[in-house]
Amino acid sequence: MYSSITKKVIMSLMGLFLITFLLVHLSLNLTLIISSSKDTFNLAAHFMGTNPVVKVLEVVLFGGFIIHIFWGIVLFFQNWAARPHSYAVWNHSQETFFSKYMIHTGALILAFLAIHLLDFWYKSRFSGGMPITQIDGIKYDDMGQLVLDKFKSPAYCSLYVIFLIFMGFHLDHAFQSALQSLGINHSKYTPFFKKFSRFLAVVITIGYISIPIVIYFIL
Amino acid sequence: MNLTLKIWRQKNAGTKGKFEKYKLTDISTESSFLEMLDVLNEKLINENQEPIAFDHDCREGICGTCGLYINGRPHGPEKGTTTCQLHMRKFKDGDVITIEPWRAKAFPIVRDLIVDRSAFDLILQAGGYTSVNTGNAPDANSIPIPKLDSDRAFESAACIGCGACVATCKNASAMLFVSAKVSHLALLPQGRIEAAERVQKMVAKMDELGFGNCTNTYACEMECPKNISVSNIARMNREFIKAKIFAEVPTAVETGD
């Protein structure tokens, strides 16, 4: 079994990796609502689905998720076992708020991930029946249309917004905590990293939420 | 002032404990928290009841022996204060005060509010020392040390090992304590010699004793009576990662095998 610090280092490295993925994914998705046609998004989706390098990275990404989730669960049970008898009165007010709920927000993100992968990733790769579009005379899967259709449902739209807010809560603690686990704490830079961590969480969350909102209300 | 106390009573580690309610009248606002418990114990003894067992020694806030979980916080509501330095003027007349022992798998209850914190001693034995030849005290200025380093080492060494960090951590993690001990030696040239070995041994012992893992909630820093900073935890992580990656492994010849 790895030591407690090694486990935390693995968690933080995987976490930081997943944050970079979130940024890439977000920037591609935003093309759908920023660009005037779905073409940019569809070409990007096609590239992400067919490029051999991306295909390798996709396996790495799934690995990153699995490792992060696996050790998150192991840590949760170990921490739970470290206090067999809990307190009658527990004043939580002194803790940074979202850090207490990482396993809970994490579990919600996992549920969200399952729904999300099934509706988009699995559908475009395996289940078939994708709408087709033509760009410069070449046929492509119309991923953009799939997204637009999905988010025209108010229930589906709200589901995404709610789950994404919980992802934001998870991210709020994530970045600065990962740095601390990696031993990066410096009197000069840590105050900035803490602010940057919140900034990152807010920007990523608002960025992602804007997509279903814009599609539902504007597009 | 008049108070209602809800105190955890437990005969020994093997038996089940429960809360008992006690009413106290005419407690001076100038008395310390432990003096208030002394008054209660006198009363219990006069009534031929078993007094409440709680740990205390210097009552000056420097030994780290006292430690009660008061209304959901280790050492009570006052920041940077041990239980013995907490005064009843911090409470209001008619308050209900819940007093519990530290709760962690690694700190088994001995009796009532006393827990066995020898796990901390075992961690220190694993590496919290420097190997030096005894003899005359060396000249204080023979090894130059940057002022900031010596100040920070001193701040880390202020840890009294009371266990409040473990008690308040939602994971019952001992990272703040261990990191303070690792830090105060790692920051000084005398301690650097065994730094790589020390951090690995102390972390291994900490894990073995059943403390939880750090999830950076920073509750420990907020509740520490000596205001030990979580930057120590980052320093320990750094020391640990450095040691795991870069520390040389002795060859067979070097170990004498």
- Non-local CB neighbours of A177 within 8 Å, separated by 6+ positions: A12, A99, A197, B215, B216
What's the whole-number mean pLDDT along residues A178-188? Answer: 95
Judged against a pLDDT cut of 80, whether residue A95 lies above it is answered with no
pLDDT in the model for residue A93: 62
Q: How far is B103 from chain A (nearest CA, A)?
A: 6
- B3-110, CATH topology level: Ubiquitin-like (UB roll) (3.10.20)
In a 13 Å sphere around the CA of A178, the CA atoms on its Cβ side amount to 20
Closest CB to B170 among A84, A100, A183 = A100
Q: Are A200 and A175 in contact (CB under 8 A)?
A: yes
CATH code, A125: 1.20.1300.10
Instruction: Identify the domain containing residue A120 by its residue range.
Output: 4-217
Judged against a pLDDT cut of 80, whether residue A92 lies above it is answered with no
* Tens-digit pLDDT profile for residues A149-160: 999 999 999 999
* Tens-digit pLDDT profile for residues B157-207: 999 999 999 999 999 999 999 999 999 999 999 999 999 999 999 999 999
Given CB atoms, is B195 within the 8 Å cutoff of chain A? no
Judged against a pLDDT cut of 90, whether residue B146 lies above it is answered with yes
Given CB atoms, is B235 within the 8 Å cutoff of chain A? yes
Boundaries of every domain in chain B: 3-110, 118-246
Q: Do domains B3-110 and B118-246 have the same CATH topology?
A: no
* Tens-digit pLDDT profile for residues B77-97: 999 999 999 999 999 999 999
Given CB atoms, is B154 within the 8 Å cutoff of chain A? no
Judged against a pLDDT cut of 90, whether residue A198 lies above it is answered with yes
Task: Test B215 with A99 for CB contact under 8 angstroms.
Answer: yes
Judged against a pLDDT cut of 90, whether residue A91 lies above it is answered with no
CA–CA distance, B166 with B103 (Å, rounded to integer): 8
Quick one: pLDDT band at residue A126, thresholds 50, 70, 90?
confident
Instruction: Report which of A193, A147, A163 is spatially closest to residue A41, judged by C-alpha positions.
Output: A147
* Tens-digit pLDDT profile for residues B21-69: 999 999 999 999 999 999 999 999 999 999 999 999 999 999 999 999 9
What's the whole-number mean pLDDT along residues A80-95? Answer: 86
Given CB atoms, is B98 within the 8 Å cutoff of chain A? yes
Quick one: pLDDT band at residue A94, thresholds 50, 70, 90?
low
Calculate the average pLDDT of chain B: 95
Q: Are B66 and B54 in contact (CB under 8 A)?
A: yes
The CATH number given to B118-246 is 1.10.1060.10
Residue type, A67: I
Instruction: Report which of B77, B83, B80 is spatially closest to residue B55, judged by C-alpha positions.
Output: B83
> How many domains does chain A contain in total?
1
CA–CA distance, B212 with B206 (Å, rounded to integer): 9
Closest CB to B171 among A5, A79, A88 = A79
